[in-house]
Amino acid sequence: RSLSAEALVCLRTYGAKCSQMGSELPSMFVGEPPEQLPQHFKDKCPVLYQQALAELTQWRLLYTDYKVGAGEGGVDYFGAKATDLGRSVIEHMWSELARPT
């Protein structure tokens, strides 16, 4: 079994975001798709986006980053970040998105 096209698009988008930010891992937020996603995602969001995040989490390529009281106004903060396996998959599939050495 392989990843869906939507999950691959999300993973590549996440990898591109990581390569722009350097060592700090960004989060992908449920219900808030990144601007870099293709238009067909935005037209059918949030369903496709949330399904893709769930699939990547199920395959253990992303994990839920949850922090109590870390958000603006003391609200809980959560998002999805890549696991080590997720980063390895990104770097294997898209070598231009590899972490700097």
The pLDDT value recorded for residue 6 is 86
d(CA 11, CA 58): 13
Q: Which residues of 23-40 are buried (b: 16+ CB within 10 A; e: fewer)?
A: eeeebbeeeebbeebeee
Q: Average pLDDT across each block of 10 residues of the chain; the chain has 101 residues. List them in order.
A: 87 84 67 63 71 93 87 82 92 87 62
The pLDDT value recorded for residue 33 is 60
User: Does residue 38 contact residue 9 with C-beta atoms inside 8 Å?
Assistant: yes
The pLDDT value recorded for residue 88 is 93
Instruction: Read off the pTM.
Output: 0.77
